[in-house]
Amino acid sequence: MSTERQEADTVAFTVAGRIAWVRFNRPEKRNCMSPKLNRQMLRVLEQLEYRDDVGVLVLTGEGTAWSAGMDLKEYFRETEAQGLGAVRQSQREAYAWWRKLRWYQKPTIAMVNGWCFGGGYGPLFACDLAFAAQEAQFGLSEINWGILPGGGATKIARELLSYRRAMYHALTGETIDGRTAADWGLVNEALPRDELQERVTAVAKTLLEKNPVALKAAKDAIRRVGEMTYDNAEDYLIRAQEAANFFDNEGRKEGIHQFIDQKSYKPGLAAYDKSRQPPGKR
């Protein structure tokens, strides 16, 4: 493109079959995150979060990249030229939508179709699940241009990788492909690019079959208990289960009814049939 995108055009999305497909939409910049994109992404996430026709959100990128991280010109150089206040503001705008995504009401999936660098690790970690093209490239390139991987990227590397792998990843700036990213634990699976969307769609449909209240409670619990002692986690999970059961007792009762009384499904193999739950309780 020869002209700069309008803010509203930096993010695109479609909704089909209760799956929201949200896309970084700066393919000419390898979907680097600019202040404009960060502001627009928060608006889009907020718009979709409580829509009845959205049950799962998939985050992916237009073109050949997922996101090559922060825009060095717009996010760093131009904001730094405006002083510390502008820098802090641009940081708040980025971290705000990553935080929103980490605690999103609906399950989220990162579909990494191409480059994922630096700041891209923020939304990668924020998504509940992640699937990558085998050809995708991952890297913490900050060390190559003279800074440490900030914005949470170092924490994310240490959270998802072993100590030695995190250290190597951050210190060398070398890239790894999707296969290695899956082997290291940055993503759940790596697939050939032409099979990626089909696999993500299948996983999204599996999630759509589950009780949404239980999904929200479970995904929050996974994030919370990682920082807790066992005793604290045990207590948190007991209270969280009580809260979820109270909030959606009809769904819980229907699942138990179908299993115990009707013997129509096995929880270890599939989800209960939500369509048989009373309207307004699904």
Q: Are residues 144 and 190 part of one domain?
A: yes
Q: Are residues 247 and 201 part of one domain?
A: no
**What average pLDDT does this structure show over 18-33?**
96
d(CA 194, CA 282): 34
Residue at a domain's end among 177, 192, 208? 208
Q: What is the pTM of this model?
A: 0.88
Residue at a domain's end among 192, 208, 224? 208
Burial readout 109-143 (b: 16 or more C-beta within 10 A, e: otherwise) = bbbbbbbbbbbbbbbbbbbbbbbbbbbbbbbbebb
Q: Are residues 118 and 228 part of one domain?
A: no
3-state DSSP helix/strand/coil % of the chain, to nearest 5: 55, 15, 30
Above 80 in pLDDT, residue 262? Answer: no
Above 60 in pLDDT, residue 279? Answer: no
**Beta strands 115-117 and 65-67: pairing type?**
parallel
CB 77 within 8 A of CB 100: no
d(CA 227, CA 180): 26
Q: What is the pLDDT of residue 97?
A: 96
Above 90 in pLDDT, residue 110? Answer: yes
Residue at a domain's end among 174, 208, 242? 208
Q: What is the pLDDT of residue 184?
A: 97
- Give the pLDDT band (50/70/90) at residue 261: confident
Least confident of 70-84, 150-164, 172-186, 226-240: 70-84
Q: Are residues 259 and 190 part of one domain?
A: no
Residue 282 counted as domain residue: no
pLDDT over 90 percentage in the chain: 64
Name the average pLDDT for the chain: 88
Q: Are residues 261 and 148 part of one domain?
A: no
Above 70 in pLDDT, residue 257? Answer: no
Please report, for residues 47, 137, 264, 281, the alpha-carbon distance to residue 65 in angstroms, rounded to integers and kept in the order given: 24, 9, 44, 40
Q: Are residues 136 and 242 part of one domain?
A: no
Q: What is the pLDDT of residue 83?
A: 87
Residue 172 counted as domain residue: yes
d(CA 152, CA 170): 12
Which domain range does residue 272 map to?
A: 212-276
Above 90 in pLDDT, residue 248? Answer: no
Q: What is the pLDDT of residues 131-165, one digit of tens each?
A: 999 999 999 988 887 888 877 899 999 999 999 99
Q: Is the alpha carbon torsion for 258, 262, 263, 264 positive or negative?
A: negative
CB 61 within 8 A of CB 103: no
Number of domains forming the structure of the chain: 2
- Give the pLDDT band (50/70/90) at residue 260: low
